[in-house]
Amino acid sequence: MSTRSVPVTDELHDYLVAHGSPPDEVASDLYAETRRILPADAEMQVAPEQAALLTLLTRLVGARNAVEVGTFTGTSALAIARGLPPDGRLICCDVSEEYTSIARRFWRRAGVEDRIDLRIAPAVQTLRALPTEPHLDLAFIDADKTGYPTYWAELVPRMRPGGLIGVDNVFRNGRVLSPVSEADRVVADFNAAVAADDRVEVVMLPLADGMTLARRR
């Protein structure tokens, strides 16, 4: 037994994925196609275990209204949409028609395209156009890192009590301990601000590149 997270080797990671809810054929093909078409950017996809967690969390909070900031080729959106009921809605914020054209094909193939409202525009513009009252059940932030504080500021007031926000890449490959770039510094400061935000309960998970979960009080 240990009071600290166990280091995850490649072998243990394979075991972890295989003994959770591993990607089905659609998700596996989406991972493969992203690696084939966009090899330099494929790491922008969420890890398989994160995708499984997003589906589970969406179901656990009973989400009907969700928002994603940063969609890329649609892996995380696919996971969230699969956790929504048939009349649920996920608003996806992205600026790339190229990347999201891949996403659309796989959402259609998975039968969840009708649950996803993709908005190609700066995310802050999309978020500020949403109703200001608390109405969101779930939000996931995984976009440009320097935008994290702004996205957080727009989303938290719109989360209903008990609503959940997930934030990816909060470790920055460990560089939050000794920031190198401006993005590293922003995320390190963002993490400190989130931990001190009394509007939410927060846990930071050592999952993939670090993932924060925050529940609106």
Fold of the CATH domain 10-216: Rossmann fold (3.40.50)
Distance CA 77, CA 217 (A): 25
Distance CA 210, CA 204 (A): 7
Assess whether pLDDT exceeds 80 at residue 131.
yes
pLDDT (tens digit, 9 = 90+) per residue, 68-104?
999 999 999 999 999 999 999 999 999 999 999 999 9
In the predicted model, what is the mean pLDDT of residues 15-39? 94
Rounded to the nearest angstrom, the gap between the alpha carbon of residue 43 and the centroid of all alpha carbons in its chain is 13
pLDDT band at 1 (very low <50, low <70, confident <90, very high): low
Residue 151 pLDDT: 98
Q: Where are the domains of the chain?
A: 10-216
In the predicted model, what is the mean pLDDT of residues 1-11? 83
Residue 17 pLDDT: 85
Q: Residue 50: name the closest of 11, 85, 88, 23 by CA.
A: 23
pLDDT (tens digit, 9 = 90+) per residue, 46-67?
999 999 999 999 999 999 999 9
Query: Other C-beta atoms within 10 Å of 135: how many?
Result: 13
Could you tell me if residue 28 is left (phi over 0), alpha (psi between -120 and 50 degrees) or otherwise beta?
alpha
- Percent over 70 (pLDDT), the chain: 99
